[in-house]
Amino acid sequence: MKIGVFVKQVPDTETKIRTKADGSGIEIDGVKFIVNPYDEFAIEEALKTKEKAGAAEVVILSLGPTRVVEALRSGLAMGADRAIHIDDSGIVLDSFVTAKILAKTAETEKFDLIFCGKQAIDDDAAQVPQMVAELLNIPHVMVIEKFEMNAEKNGVVVHRRIGGGAKEVYDVKLPAIFGCEKGLNTPRYASLPGIMKARSKPVTTLKALELMGDSKPRTGNRNYRLPPERPAGKMLQGTPEEVAKELVRLLREEAKVI
C-alpha cells in the first residue's frame, strides 16, 4: 500500500505579517514558517494507517520554494518514508494550478489513498484536495473525524460531522482522498532518533513547470491589506451594580448595539 500526504508550509500564526508596498502579497523576509497544523493530523493518520496495514509506504509531498524541504523533513522525522519536493520556481500558483501539479504527481505515484489537512491556515481556501480528487476521478471526503480500513484493505469507513451534532458515515472504495482536522488523532512528536533518521531519508525534487502542462491560474489576489487595529479594551471599575450600569451605557451610547 502506498499512502500519500499533501503538506503545505505556512507562516506561523504568531508571525507579524507585513504586506508588500504594491499590495500583491506579504513580505516573507523574517517570517517563521511551520507545517500547516491540519496537515500534521494528515501525517499522523497516514502513519497510523501504515502501522495497521503492515507493508506500506508513506510519501509526503509539498509544492513550494526550497524552504518547504524543512517541512518535509519534519514529516520524515515523524516517521514518513520519503518525500517529494515540487519546486515552484518560475510559475504563478492558484488553487487550480496547484491541484493540477499535485494530481499529476499523485497519478505517477499511484497512491492507494491520500491524506491532507482540511485547509491551509494561510489562505483558508480549502479547495485543492477536492480539485485533485476530481482531476484523478476518485472519491474524496472532507472532513473526517474517524477512519477505519476494511479487512481487505481496499476500502474504508469514515465519519464526518455535519450540522446539529449529526454525523455522516461513508463507505469509500480506494483510492480516495480524505481531509483531516483536530479530533481525528493526536500527532506524534518527532523523536531524536526520528530526527536523525530524517536527515538520510530520500527527498526527490521535481519541477512544477514540467508537471503543470498548459495550466494557467484562474484566480488571483490583489490589494493585500492588514485589518484595522482594534481599539484598546476598557477595564470597568466599581461594584457589580456600577460596572453593569456602565457596561449598559457603553453598549448603548458607544457601541450602539442595544
H helices of the chain, in order, are: 37-53, 68-78, 95-109, 128-136, 192-198, 208-211, 240-253
pLDDT, tens digit, for every residue of 76-122?
Answer: 999 999 999 999 999 999 999 999 999 999 999 999 999 999 999 99
Average pLDDT, the chain: 93
Which residues contact residue 223 at a Cβ distance below 8 angstroms, ignoring those fewer than 6 apart? 23
- Please report the pLDDT score of residue 230 as a whole number: 83
Q: At what angle do helices 68-78 and 37-53 cross, to 10 degrees?
A: 40
pLDDT class for 51, splitting at 50, 70, 90? very high
- Please report the pLDDT score of residue 228 as a whole number: 85
- Please report the pLDDT score of residue 186 as a whole number: 96
Q: How far apart are CA 206 and CA 134, in angstroms?
A: 23
- Please report the pLDDT score of residue 155 as a whole number: 94
pLDDT class for 14, splitting at 50, 70, 90? confident
Residue 257 has pLDDT above 90, yes or no: no
C-alpha cell at 115: 491524506
Model-level pTM? 0.87
